[in-house]
Amino acid sequence: LATDKGISILQIPFANNPTDAESIYISPNPFIFPDDDFVTIGRVPAGSIIKIMTISGKVVKTIKLDINKLYFKWDGTNDQGEPVGTAVYIVSANHSSEQNKISKIAVIRK
């Protein structure tokens, strides 16, 4: 939206869920800590459960999106609030009535 006070972005979470062809949005990727404060994970159906897992399948972070949220800002910590290590992680998004999605993210700790 453009006004005389500048440009604003309006995100309406009640729009259609992403199509099956759209992959999970992850930015920045790689997530470099401490240069980046957080990574945005999105383009998943509202109300999804997002899991961040090691390559071996161990779940390090579980995020339950609200029904009015399409994006989540992850700070690179696990479920106990501790920073995760340098690695490639699998990101999965599961929803009860939509198609599941999967992607990956690289985390680099300096």
DSSP codes joined into one string, the chain: -EETTEE-----TTSPPPPTTSPPEEESSSEEETT-S-EEEESS-TT-EEEEE-TT--EEEEEE--TT-SEEEE-SB-TTSPBPPSEEEEEEEE-SSS--EEEEEEEEE-
Q: What is the pLDDT of residue 11?
A: 54
Q: What is the pLDDT of residue 30?
A: 94
Under 8 Å between Cβ of 98 and 16: no
Q: The whole model's pTM is what?
A: 0.78
Interval 73-89: pLDDT, tens: 999 999 999 999 999 99
Interval 2-58: pLDDT, tens: 667 666 655 555 445 545 456 889 999 999 988 999 999 988 888 899 999 999 999
Q: What is the pLDDT of residue 10?
A: 53
Choice between 96 and 36, residue whose per-residue pLDDT is larger: 36
Q: What is the pLDDT of residue 68?
A: 82
